[in-house]
Amino acid sequence: MDVKIEAGWKAHLKTEFEKEYFSQLISFVKEEYNTQRIYPPGKLIFNAFDECPFDQLKVVILGQDPYHGPGQAHGLCFSVNDGIPFPPSLRNIFKELKEDVGKEIPKSGNLTDWAQQGVLLLNATLTVRAHQAGSHQKKGWEEFTDAAIQTASDQKEHLVFLLWGNYAISKRRLIDENKHLVLTSVHPSPLSASRGFFGNKHFSKTNDFLQQNGLQPIRW
């Protein structure tokens, strides 16, 4: 199957594209786009990979589902398009970022600049029906994104994985912690942020690790 995705990722994930589950997944997704309102726009399904080429990968941040409101999702976890109000979790991410590294809260919640510096902003599920959280879970996306995480762990060195919340932490089993730094905390959601997301200093810890291994830090 010819999947339109960044060339480096395409080369490393090519065996996934030939598997039966992926064929069934794509058939399901195409039917959903034809009959339902689905986010993100079809051309942005693999945006996390396209904006963060495999060869430039430094950091992985894991989310669960795309935003399911109008105009929000554009293929990067936690990120929203320019001009869209910050969802609560993203607002808390920016609060922690300000406390940790002193960066003022930006006007836009678009995190494309992070992606282009080597931050893979990966949702476990890459599509969702409008206003129906979790509607495309357990259709095959998780198998594909697990393979992407495992491939990154196997093929790269000195990555930082930021796992926020129990769902993201469950992916820890896919990561070789002898080669990579794994940082975990509760989710930045307002329901949990005050119980350990605030004060986790993951942004400065990420840059410290990258610099210790001769890599450019992220300009958060």
Q: Which residues are catalytic?
A: 65
Q: What would the two tokens of residue 94 be? A: 């920016």
Q: Give the Cβ contact number of residue 139 at 10 Å.
A: 16
Helices (H), the chain: 7-17, 20-35, 47-51, 88-101, 112-116, 141-155, 166-169, 202-212
Vertex 32 angle, CA 30 and 34, to 5°: 70
Residues 6+ apart with CB under 8 A from 88: 189, 190
Structure tokens, 147:
């393979």
> Rounded distance, CA 56 to CA 47, Å?
15
Burial (0-12, 13-18, 19+ Cβ within 10 Å), 83: exposed
* Token pair recorded at residue 15: 């065996």
